[in-house]
């Protein structure tokens, strides 16, 4: 009695998976095509984001008058803040 039931469950699962793949495949191909076409913008977006981080670090460096660390140190702190906010999006760190 257990063998037909498990075979039916396996066949049902394979049928559902096949139906899902057949229904979604066209959308996946279209999304992949759009992603490849928009891939050229990624370096520009990274450059703009790094520039924004550098300017924020410069602002903090100007605000903290007698700082023992330089602009590079503030930039590293900004990168760490970005990383923490990415990993823990519910706990925004710093200003």
pLDDT number for residue 55? 95
CA end-to-end span of the chain, whole Å? 65
Q: Is the pLDDT of residue 89 over 90?
A: no
Residue 83 DSSP symbol: H
Q: Is the pLDDT of residue 95 over 60?
A: no
- The 3-state DSSP class for residue 1 equals coil
Q: Is the pLDDT of residue 30 over 70?
A: yes
pTM above threshold 0.85: no
Q: Is the pLDDT of residue 1 over 60?
A: no
CA distance 50 to 20: 40
């Amino acid at each position: 009695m257990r063998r037909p039931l498990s075979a039916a469950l396996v066949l049902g699962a394979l049928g559902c998976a096949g139906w899902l793949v057949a229904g979604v495949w066209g959308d996946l191909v279209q999304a992949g095509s759009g992603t490849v076409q928009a891939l050229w913008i990624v370096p520009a977006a990274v450059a703009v984001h790094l520039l924004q981080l550098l300017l924020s670090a410069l602002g903090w460096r100007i605000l903290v008058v007698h700082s023992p660390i330089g602009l590079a140190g503030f930039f590293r702190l900004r990168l760490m803040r970005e990383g923490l906010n990415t990993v823990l999006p519910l706990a925004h760190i710093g200003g």
